[in-house]
Structure 1
Amino acid sequence: MSAFDNNPFAEPANDNPFNDPSVTQVTDSNVEPVDQYNPFSTTEGLATHTTSDPTSSYQPAVLQPSTEPSPQATAAAAQANLLKQQEELEKKAADLDRREQELQSKQNNWPPFPRNFPIKPCFYQDFSEEIPPEYHRVCKMIYYLWMLNCVTLFLNLLACLAYFISDGSQGVDFGLSILWLILFMPCSFLCWYRPIYKAFKTDSSVSFFFFFFVFFCQVVIFIIQAVGIPNWGNSGWITAFTSFRMNKAVGAIMIIVAILFTFCASLSVVLLKMVHSMYRRTGASFQKAQQEFSQGVFTSKGFQTAAQGAVERNN
C-alpha cells in the first residue's frame, strides 16, 4: 500500500544533481567562484592583507617637484636686483644733490652784521640745525665762553688804559693789552671754538684732537692772565693789588678783570673735561683721527693735483 501512497508525478529525491553533497559544499562555502572574481573591483581582502602587516616599511613613491629655479627665473631675479640697486643709487645721488643745493643756498649768518655793513658774514652757524641735541648745551657754553673772553679782553684794555693814565710808566701793559685783544679775539674763535663746533657737527676725531690741543693752551693763557704778571699786559691779581695801592679806583677795575679771567680759567677747565668725557663715549681714538687725517689728505684736490704733477714730471 505504501507504493500507492507516493505521488507518481513527484521527482525522486536523489535525482536532483544540486543536492549532491559535493555541490552543496561548494555553494554553501564563502569562497567566491572564479567566474564572479572582478580584479578591478574594490577588494577589501587585498586592503586587509596589505594593512594587516604592521611591520611592513613599504611606502609608495611620491614624486617631489624640483626646487631649482629655471634660467629665466634667475635672469629675471638678477635684473630686478640690478634695477633695485640702480634706484637706490639714484636716490642717494638725488639726496646728495639736494644737500649740496641746500648748502649752497645757505648764506653765512655770523658775525651778524647788518645788510648795509661793508663787511659780510664769514660763517654759517645754527645750533638747532647742525649740532646734535645731546651736544647743544656744551657747544653753546663754549660759545658763551668765547664771548666772555672777548668782553674780558676789552675790559682788560680799559683797565690797562686807566693804569697807564694813573702811572705813565705802565705803557707796556697798555700796548700789550691792545695786542692781546686784536690777536686773541679772532684766534680763539678760529682755533678752538670753530673746531669744536665742527667736531660736534661732523663727529670728526681730527677736529676733536685739534680742539684739545689748542684749548689746553688757552687754559694756560687764562691762568697766566688771571695771575697778572707785571708788564705782560694783563690785569690779573698781582697787577690789581699793585695798582690798588697807588689808585683804588684803578685797582678796583683791575680786580674785576682778574675775577673775570679767573672765572674764564675755571670754566674752561670744566668744559675741557666735559668735552673729553663726551669724546670718550663716542668710541673715538687717536688711530681714528689718524685715519681721518690720511683720508682727508689723500682725497684733497691739492694733494691729488700735486701727485699728478709729480707723476707727469717723472714720466
Structure 2
Amino acid sequence: PSVTQVTRNVPPGLDEYNPFSDSRTPPPGSVKMPNVPNTQPAIMKPTEEHPAYTQIAKEHALAQAELLKRQEELERKAAELDRREREMQNLSQHGRKNNWPPLPDNFPVGPCFYQDFSVDIPVEFQKTVKLMYYLWMFHAVTLFLNIFGCLAWFFVDSARGVDFGLSILWFLLFTPCSFVCWYRPLYGAFRSDSSFRFFVFFFVYICQFAVHVLQAAGFHNWGNCGWISSLTGLNQNIPVGIMMIVIAALFTASAVISLVMFKKVHGLYRTTGASFEKAQQEFATGVMSNKTVQTAAANAASTAATSAAQNAFKGNQI
C-alpha cells in the first residue's frame, strides 16, 4: 500500500500531462464570486462650486446695477443744473427778489437779502454753508436764552442789573452783525469764489470765536451766563444756577463748533485756488469800479487841476 500511495502521489511528467484531464477542484478561497450588479440608483453628489455661467451672470448684474446707479446720479445732476439754469434765467429777466428774512407780505419792512443754497452755492459746498447758517442760528438762540438766564439771576441778586441790560444789548447787536459781517461774506465767497470775501470772513470770524470764548467764560458784569457767572448763581439759588449752567454749556458748544467749522472752511478755501494776491486784485478792481469812488476821484482830480491852473496863472501875472 505504501508503494501504491507513493506512485499515486508522484506528479505526472510532461509527457503524461493533459490539460483537459485535470479534474482537481480548486481550493475554496481561490474560487471567484460572480459580480453582482448594484441595484441602487446612481446619485450625483452636488458640488458647492457654481457653474461659470452663474458667476458671469452675477458680475453682469452688478455691473448693470452700477451703471444704473451712475445714470440716475447723472440724471439727477442734470435736472438740478437745468433747474438752476431756469431759475437764473428767471432772475435775469425779472430781477432777483430778496427772500431773507422770510417776512409776511403785509409786513412794513421787506426782506433784505437773497438766499438760495441750491441756486447760488455749488453742490460740493452747500453742506458747509448750511452748517454755518445753522451755527449762526444756534448762537442767536443762545443769546436769546441768555437774556432769560440773566433775568433769573437778576431776580435772586439785585446787583445783576448790569448783566441783564448787557444781555439784551448783546442779542440785539451780535445777531444781525454776525449775520452781515461773517456769514454773508462766507456765502458770497462760495457763491462767486471771491478771495477778498474769504479774507473778510476769516478776519471777522476770528473775532467772533474770541467772543464765543468770552461768553463761555462768563465774567461778572459782562452780560453772559458763562461758567464763572453760573457757579456764582448756583451758590445763590440752585434752580437759577442750573439754568445758567445750561446756557454756559450752549456758549461752550458754540465756541467748539466755531473752531471746527473754521478749520473746515479753511480747508475748503485752500482747495478753491483763492489767495491773498487774488484778494488784493479783487479789492483794487472793486474799488476802481465803484461809481462813488470814481466820482470822488474825478472830483479830486478836477479840483487839483483847477487849483494848479489857478496857481500857475497867478504866477504868470506876478
Q: Give the TM-score, by structure 2 length.
A: 0.67
Q: Which has the larger radius of gyration?
A: 1
1:188 aligns with 2:178: yes
State yes or no: 1:217 paired with 2:199. no
Tell me how far 1:312 sits from its aligned partner.
2.3
Partner amino acid, structure 2, of 1:206 = F
Q: 2:265 corresponds to which letter in structure 1?
A: V
User: For each residue in 1:191-216, what CA deviation from the matched residue of structure 2 results, as whole angstroms up to 9, or x when unmatched?
Assistant: 00101000010011110000000000
Instruction: Tell me which amino acid in the other structure corresponds to 1:192.
Output: W
Q: Identify which of 246, 253, 256 aligns with 1:263.
A: 253
Letter in 2 for 1:266: V
Query: Contact 2:103–2:110 (CA<8 Å) still a contact in 1?
Result: yes
Gap regions ≥5 residues in structure 2:
1-84, 307-318
- Alignment of structure 1 residues 63-142 onto 2, 5 Å: 102=92, 105-142=95-132
Would the alpha carbon gap of residues 300 and 232 (structure 1) be closer, same or farther in structure 2, given more than 3 Å must change?
A: same
Cα shift at 1:188: 0.4
1:250 to 240, 244, 263: 240
Q: Does 1:200 align with 2:177?
A: no
Letter in 1 for 2:185: P
- 1:283 Cα deviation (Å)? 1.9
Q: Report the number of matched residues.
A: 219
Please report how far the alpha carbon of residue 311 of structure 1 lies from its aligned counterpart in structure 2 after TM superposition.
2.7
1:104 deviates by 5.1
Residue 268 (structure 2) aligned to one of 265, 268, 278: 278
Work out the CA distance in 2 between the residues paired with 1:277 and 1:104.
37
Q: Which among 298, 310, 314 is matched to residue 308 of structure 1? A: 298
Deviation of residue 101 (structure 1)? 5.8
- CA drift at 1:106: 2.3
CA distance in 2: counterparts of 1:254 and 1:103, whole angstroms = 52
What's the counterpart of residue 168 of structure 1?
158
Please state whether the residue corresponding to 1:141 is helix, strand or coil: helix
Q: Note the C-alpha offset of 1:310.
A: 2.2
Aligned letter for 2:288? F
- Please name the residue that 2:168 is paired with: 178
Cα distance, 1:285–1:163 mapped onto 2, change above 3 Å? same
* 1:103, distance to aligned residue in structure 2 (A): 7.2
| Shift of residue 298, structure 1, vs aligned partner | 0.8
**Whole-angstrom CA distance in 2 between matches of 1:164 and 1:191:** 32
Instruction: Identify the residue that residue 18 of structure 1 maps to in structure 2.
Output: none
Q: Whole-Å Cα distance in 1 between the matches of residues 183 and 93 of structure 2? A: 21
Q: Contact 2:100 / 2:113 at 8 angstroms: preserved in 1? A: yes
Deviation, structure 1 residue 281? 1.2
Q: Secondary structure at the match of 1:267?
A: helix
Q: Deviations over 1:168-226 (max 9, x none)?
A: 11111101101101110110000001010000100111100000000000001001100
How far residue 241 of structure 1 moved from its aligned partner, in angstroms, is 1.0
Q: 2-side partners of 1:182 and 1:137: how far apart?
A: 28
In structure 2, give the amino acid aligned to 1:135. Answer: F
Give the residue type in structure 2 aligned to 1:214.
Answer: V
Q: Which amino acid aligns with 2:157?
A: D
State TM-score, norm by structure 1.
0.67
* Change in 2 beyond 3 A, CA 1:294/1:99: farther
Q: Is 2:274 aligned against 1:290? A: no
In structure 2, relative to structure 1, the CA distance for the partners of 1:103 and 1:226 (3 Å cut) is farther
1:103 and 1:225 mapped to 2: Cα distance? 46
Aligned alpha-carbon RMSD (Å): 1.6
Q: Post-superposition, which runs of at least 4 consecutive aligned residues in structure 1 deviate over 3 A? A: 98-101
User: How high is the sequence identity, in percent, across the aligned residues?
Assistant: 54
- CA drift at 1:245: 1.1
CA distance in 2, matches of 1:108, 1:233: 34
CA distance in 2, matches of 1:226, 1:310: 49
Structure 1 unmatched ranges of 5 or more: 1-94
Taking the aligned partners of 2:254 and 2:226, their CA distance within structure 1 comes to 12
Q: Distance in 1 between matches of 2:234 and 2:93?
A: 54
User: 2:227, 2:245 within 8 Å by CA — same for their partners in 1?
Assistant: yes
SS in 1 for 2:99: coil
Cα distance in 1 for partners of 2:231, 2:300 equals 62
Contact preservation (8 Å) 2:101, 2:111: yes
Secondary structure of the residue aligned to 2:105 is coil
Rounded to whole Å, the distance in 2 between the matches of 1:114 and 1:217 is 34
Match of residue 74 from structure 2: none
